[in-house]
Structures are given as C-alpha cells and as structure tokens.
Amino acid sequence: MRILVVEDEKKIASFVSKGLAEMGFNPLVCHRGDDALHLATTERFDAIVLDIMLPGRDGLSVLRQLREQHNTVPVILLTARDGLSERVEGLNLGADDYLAKPFSMEELIARLRAIRRRLSGGGLNIQRYEDLTLNLITREVSRAGCKIDLTAREYALLEYLMRSPGRVLTRTQICEQVWDYHFDPGTNVVDVCIQRLRRKLDDGHDVKLIQTVRGVGYALKAGS
C-alpha cells in the first residue's frame, strides 16, 4: 500500500514513516496541508494518514476538498485526544477512521490493513499464484508449502508483482511503486532486488515464476 503521511511534527512523521516502511508499506511524507492536497490530487495513494492541525491548510479542509472533488481515497485522521468535535466533523466530511494522539504504530497498521481488506473485497488477505502464497496480514510467503524469508523490500516487490500476474511491469513502474522514486536513480537497484527475489523463489523449482522481458521489465509468470 502506498500511504501519504501528512504530519507537521517532523519527529512524529519520521517515526510513522519508518514504522510503515518496516512493515512493508510504501510511505510518502509531507508536512503542510497545501502540499497534501496537491499530492493527493495528482498522485495515486491507497490511503492517507492526515493530521488535522497543519500549517497552510488544516486537515479537515484538505479532506473537504478531496470529497468535493469525488476523491474517495481512504483517510485516517490524526486528532487531539480531546478533539471530539473535530472527530465528528471529520467523519461527517467522509473520513474513514481516526486515531487520537498519542497512538501506537501497531494500531495504525491494523487500521490500514482493515482498509486494505475492505478495498480488496472484504477479507481477501491471501494472494496466490501457482504454488506461491503471500499472506497480506502476516506477511508470510511460501512456495509449495515451504516458507520463504524475505526482506521488507523484497516482500513489497513480490506483493506488487502478485497484484498483476502475467503483466509486464517496467523498471520505472517498479521504482515508483516499490521505492517511491519518481526519477531514474541511476542504479540497477531493481535488477539486484529481482535477482535476490528470484533466487529465493525459483531456485530448486522446475517452474520459474519471475520472468525477464528484455528491454522492458519483469513479470510474475510461470515459465521454464
């Protein structure tokens, strides 16, 4: 999931971003309401974690603008513990959930996963392709019943591939979705990660699942 984190307190924003990345999410941080509205209307996010108290434009104003533009991206509001009226107003404006500060990362991640379950059709937490299985909740990966240990980045890459089996994904697309790079990093970071993932998934199996399409990119597709 690509998550926009909007929080003006930089220490909190850094803590949330790091925690999300460690659990396999793809966070992007901004600190001002105006920037948040621009990003939310020009880029695709799976959810927004939105503080109410922001410089430039407050979180409720951002939420109001998004809903007036028929933007249905899920929004979790961050509110002061005693901000009952703000929470009520936020929910009436179309927020999907809220968390009162201070909050635990465990609870935020659980709420984001609940949003993912809802968006994927009400509980489709298991991704499968051939004999490969990925659990979106526990983040466990196995092939032919054997567990495979992946790093957070390898897991994010595999999840992205498994959401579009058979589709060729370019290096640029992978960089944007898995690394959140919107420019050419000038390195072979994608190829290196693909090689590591391929060794873990395909070594010892006759059917190879990660295919290279020369000059284009990679695809999750059964082959030899």
Give residue-wise pLDDT tens across range 31-57.
Answer: 999 999 999 999 889 899 999 999 989
Give residue-wise pLDDT tens across range 180-204.
Answer: 776 566 678 999 999 999 999 999 9
CATH topology of domain 151-223: Arc Repressor Mutant, subunit A (1.10.10)
> In this structure, how many other beta carbons lie within 10 angstroms of the beta carbon of residue 206?
6
CA distances from 45 to 18, 21, 119 (A): 17, 15, 13
**Annotated domain spans of the chain:** 2-119, 151-223
* CATH number 3.40.50.2300 given to 2-119: yes
Q: How far apart are CA 134 and CA 129, in angstroms?
A: 9
Model pTM above 0.85 = no
